[in-house]
Amino acid sequence: MSPTLCFIGGGNMARSLIGGLIARGKDPAQLMVADPVESQLQSLRQQFGVRASSSNQEIVTAADVVILAVKPQEMRNVIVALVPYLTHRPLIISVAAGIRASDIQRWAGGLPVVRCMPNRPALQGCGMTGLFATADVTVDRRRIAAEILGAVGATLWLEQESQMDAVTAISGSGPAYFFLLIEMLEEAGAALGLPAEVSHRLAVETAYGAGCMAREATESAATLRQQVTSKGGTTAAALHVLEDSNVRAIFATAVAAAAQRSAKLADEFGG
């Protein structure tokens, strides 16, 4: 039997998941959303035909899975208020950044928890989500969690929650790194005399094409780079400047800073 899902928070991520699930055949009657903003609820009802309420407590009692899609700083208060209504022991799925599964489980009275780190492209249905489950999450419930997050892109299970900080730094923050690269290519193109719209199109389509190649290739990214770099050619000239500027070390330091910040936020929010 297909599980009934309840979303606490009806923002962009919840909306994307709902849309993805319905597109994959999920019955809207098995989807419920709680949000304090009435206009948000009305929009969800009209667009998806789901049950929507301003009361978290009203809808969680009928849910097999409760998906927490609220701001990290609101998470503890939201969960604590729900505990008396979770005696049927649903699976808890969190898509909030920076909140450890162990803290969610502690606040929720020991319920099974799957912590997820989706990224912004999930809003377009092409996201990447890292998942971690507490030890009491069954195989069937792991499958359910993967199917829910799989509605908006690829999923990957982590064996250790400590790896989530690195996932946050790579795929959670990662889209911004690629946007920065596109931005820099646009600026470089303009500096070389290209019209802004031409420079933008070249940068965006090249990023898209490179991503498609990397996604479909059996070779490593390093091999792909070598294949498009002719000795003494234009690409080699550009890469030589980047390597001489120590771009690898700069990037490694930047990603490490993101991971460290993720761990620090988890400490702050989990207090």
What residue spans define the domains of the chain? 5-167, 172-266
> Which amino acid type is present at position 224?
L
Distances (CA, A) of 190 to 43, 182, 185, 206: 41, 12, 9, 16
Distance CA(64)–CA(86), nearest Å, equals 10
pLDDT at 232: 94
pLDDT confidence of 217, banded at 50, 70, 90? very high
With CA atoms as reference, report the closest residue to 3 among 77, 99, 93. 93
List of E strands, 23-101: 31-34, 51-53, 65-68, 91-94
Task: Report the CATH number of the 5-167 domain.
Answer: 3.40.50.720
pLDDT confidence of 1, banded at 50, 70, 90? low
List of E strands, the chain: 5-8, 31-34, 51-53, 65-68, 91-94, 113-117, 127-133, 153-157
pTM of the entire predicted model: 0.91
pLDDT at 270: 84
Q: Out of 2.60.40.1250, 3.30.70.1290, 1.10.3730.10, 2.160.20.60, select the CATH number for domain 172-266.
A: 1.10.3730.10
Buried b (16+ CB within 10 A) or exposed e, 64-90: bbbbbbbebeebbebbeebeebbeeeb
Output the six-digit token pair for 243: 């390597």
Mean pLDDT of 173-201: 97
Longest dimension (CA), the chain: 69
